[in-house]
Structure 1
Amino acid sequence: MSATPEAIGLRGRVGGWFSGLFRAAGDALPVRIGSSEYARTQTAPARLMGFDQALLWVTVALLAWGLVMVYSASIAMPDNPRFGRLGYSQTYFLYRHVIGLVLGFVAAVLAFQVPIRTWERCAPALFIFSLLLLLAVLIPHVGRSVNGARRWIPLGVMNFQPSELAKLSVVIYAADYMVRKMEVKERFFRAVLPMGVAVAVTGVLLLAEPDMGAFMVIAIIAMGILFLGGVNARMFFLIAAVLLFAFSMMVMMSEWRRERIFAYLNPWDEKLTLGKGYQLSHSLIAIGRGEIFGVGLGGSVEKLHWLPEAHTDFLLAVIGEEFGMVGVLVAIGLFLWLTRRIMHIGRQAIALDRVFAGLVAQGIGIWVGFQSFINMGVNLGALPTKGLTLPFMSYGGSAILMNLVAVSIVLRIDYENRVLMRGGRI
């Protein structure tokens, strides 16, 4: 028997009422069926971060720790007659380091806004500009000389070191160069030799300052990018052999560099302890005093005019004395994670067929990893003394500035990777 329209309407209203009731109950209360309980969950779109948050916060942690350690290492420096006669206060280096951090953050924010394709277009111009600055710093009354080295250009609020810009410009230029030479990367004279000439010109200008440490970092960056860009193993080992020979000749032809090697081999020799081995011996004393857990923040004795450049090149020694082996291992772990993460972002970009962006990120990873490795090796007595700061932590305005710009470029690469993986366009 067919139902009347009134019955159908009534059933529809009752069914709708019960459906709404169960839907509301499902939103508010769990539903139990047998021994299992099911709850209605609200669906929410997954939020994808715009860039690598962990990389950002590890960088901030290193900067904050470095700020504290720079203050701790430099607080007693005004008591030194060398600085006391200049009227330095206990917070002099702290304030200048804060200025470097502020300028670095501003520059990093601006650099993050620049698309990677713009960096690629500007690569040759940026490299030439860095060479001009390296040349300008050698001109009297333009470059500032400190302890016999002419490496800084006074800019009022800070002394800018062109070699720091040269590191970044070589990363970007070498990546752009490899992209342009990808089809002839197996030919030595067309692929490797021109880049070798560019690095050699940079090296001549850096050695004139002199700044062999920066030249080593730049040479390793260029060689690493060539290798990652696809240069075959034979040419890579040939480049490595040439660089090893060049650095060996520099050491052999320079008496003070030879003395540094001898001091590294035996810093406790009575002829070297008060000379070229002085910094290394006191760095080892500082780390030895720290033992496992350190003497406590601010408790370092070696920073009290015993250890030269405690706030710059030998900041890790102060960390070792005040935080012990635990502090040194934490610092090593942070830099290891940071380098690995940057390299991962570079590999991800290459997987997305963004070769230039990938090589830039990996070049920055080589820069950060190699320079921190050298600085830590020097502080721990595993490598000869070399004037390289600890990235993100040591005192130095231009170094902090360029480190932050480099990390912001990596974050921009990661941001563009995520945009492409979401199906967007850059």
Structure 2
Amino acid sequence: MKMKSIILKRLKNLDYSLLVAILLLAGFGLMMIYSSSSTLAYLNYDSSQYFFVKQSQWLLLSLFFLVLTIFIPYQLYNKLSPLLVLFSIVLLILVLIPAFGVERNYSQRWIQMGSFQFQPTEFIKLFMIIYFASFYSKKQRIINQFKHGVLPPLLILAIVFLLILQQPDLGSAALILSACGMIVICSGVKFRHLFMLGTVGVLGVGYFAYSSPYRLERLTSFRNPFQDPFGDGYQLVNSYLAIGTGGLKGNGLGGSIQKLGFLPEAHTDFIMAVTLEELGIVGLFIIIGTYIFIMLRGIQIAKGCQKMFPKLLAIGITFQIMTQVVINLGAVSGMLPITGIPLPLISYGGSSILITMISFGILLHISTTNRSTESHQT
């Protein structure tokens, strides 16, 4: 009876508007994955539904974990945070070992275990948010003491950052750095400490970006893709063609030309280019509007928290997911470098949608806890 009462209470206080927005984006993403990948899937796997079926399976698994995390108390993550950090470092070491790591496109970012393959960096994005939220929520009394109240998790972050660079994956490393940085900012750290850390962070990312010819090439080719339209600028040039031919209303669902082998990664990193070609600017505004709604709900959930840990956790999750949106859309439009960051809930990728759904499940749980507290107070 007690378990039934808890479930009913969670369902009563569930943020259904946020849940609907999440499900709509996931459903839309599944539709666009089929549209953007059907030709490639047929040519490579003799089935136009190959990627659609695989993503559908991951989506079902992700929905299960979404529901599960809604009912898991967030205090558990607080207790498990040290183990999650240790697990993160182990995964990042394993992915670099040839016996476990899988190389694709000159990057070793996946771990293969039997028939199961996943990208550990996706999980580490959430694990590091949990760890930072846990540490700084516990150190509020000494938050002004840099050595004991600020520095320790930053040393762990530096190790994680350097390990991810070995894959190499500067985009994910910078994304984790920025999300953890936002948690530090919101935790109440002194301004002079923030300024110092921000300077070190920017200089560090800049150094690693420009110290490698490969990374430098990826970061600078977006500025003038037409200078080498059949080389480094090929992907972005074809993205421009997709976006340009879509116009206001698009060419209709399934009407993309660029997905027919011209645009690389059409169903993954550049799925938004195909979406714009088929659904136009109208489709873009609807998608961005949904993301903005999710962001605003995430901010409201964080503001409604009375305890520091769930507040920082909600901030970190919301900021990281929205930063991914900005980076992906910026890359597709040529406003930012191409980093391989997927569009949350829409791009093809099992690890990505699984960890995004788990993150949203945690956010929904925090929201139900807030609403339950408010109802008790009234």
Q: TM-score, normalised by structure 2?
A: 0.94
Report the residue type matching 1:256 in the other structure.
Y
Cα distance between partner residues in 1 of 2:71 and 2:244: 45
Ranges in structure 1 where 5+ consecutive residues have no aligned partner: 1-47
Partner of 1:37: none
Tell me which residue corresponds to 1:32: none
Q: Contact 1:267 / 1:280 at 8 angstroms: preserved in 2?
A: yes
The code of the aligned residue for 1:263 comes to: S
1:78, distance to aligned residue in structure 2 (A) = 3.6
User: What residue is the counterpart of 2:278 in the other structure?
Assistant: 322
Name the structure where helix makes up a greater proportion of residues. Answer: 2
1:211 aligns with 2:172: no
Q: CA deviation at 1:318?
A: 0.7
Q: Which residue of 2 aligns with 1:339?
A: 295
Correspondence 1:304 to 2:260: yes
- What does 1:355-366 align with in structure 2 at a 5 Å threshold? 355-366=308-319
Is the CA contact 1:346–1:358 (under 8 Å) kept in the aligned structure 2? yes
How many residues of Structure 1 are paired with residues of Structure 2 in the alignment? 368
SS in 2 for 1:294: coil
Work out which of the residue numbers 372, 378, 382 in structure 1 matches 2:335. 382
**1:185 counterpart = 2:143:** yes
1:291 to 238, 247, 260: 247
Are the counterparts in 1 of residues 41 and 49 from structure 2 also a CA contact under 8 Å? Answer: no
SS, match of residue 76 in structure 1: helix
Deviates more, 1:51-60 or 1:116-125: 116-125
* Within-5 A mapping of 1:39-188: 49-78=12-41, 80=43, 84=44, 87-155=45-113, 158-188=116-146
Q: For residue 289 of structure 1, what is the amino acid of its counterpart?
A: T
Question: What does residue range 219-238 of structure 1 map to in structure 2 within 5 Å?
Answer: 219-238=177-196
Structure 1 residues 156 and 67, CA, compared in 2 at 3 Å: closer, same or farther?
farther
Query: How much does 1:244 deviate?
Result: 1.2
**Equivalent position of 2:225 in the other structure:** 267
Structure 1: how far apart are the matches of 2:340 and 2:46?
23
Corresponding residue for residue 370 of structure 2? 417
Mark the CA change 1:342 to 1:88 in structure 2 (over 3 Å): closer, same or farther.
Answer: farther
In the alignment, which of 323, 335, 351 is matched to residue 370 of structure 1?
323
SS at match of 1:282: helix
- For the Cα contact (< 8 Å) 2:225–2:237, is it kept in 1? yes
- Structure 1 residue 234 displacement after superposition: 2.2
Residue 392 (str. 1) matches residue 329 (str. 2)? no
| TM-score (norm: length of structure 1) | 0.83
- Partner in structure 1 of residue 6 of structure 2: none
User: Do the aligned partners of 1:283 and 1:379 also contact (CA within 8 Å) in 2?
Assistant: yes
| Compared CA separation, residues 65 and 158, structure 1 to 2 (3 A) | farther
Deviations 1:132-182 (A, max 9, x none): 111111111212111121111234564211101101101110000101221
Unaligned segments of structure 2, at least 5 residues? 1-10
2:85 and 2:131 in contact (8 A); partners too: yes
**SS state of the match for residue 103, structure 2?**
strand
The structural deviation recorded for 1:214 is 1.0
| Compared CA separation, residues 210 and 88, structure 1 to 2 (3 A) | farther
> What is the SS of the residue equivalent to 2:231?
coil
**Letter in structure 2 aligned against 1:320:** L
Q: What is the letter of the counterpart of residue 260 of structure 2?
A: L
SS of 2:83's partner is helix
Residues 136 and 150 in structure 2, CA contact (< 8 A), matched pair in contact too: no
Q: Distance in 2 between matches of 1:341 and 1:376?
A: 21
- Distance change in 2, residues 1:274/1:333 (3 Å): same
**CA–CA distance in 1 between the matches of 2:243 and 2:193?**
41
Structure label with greater radius of gyration: 1
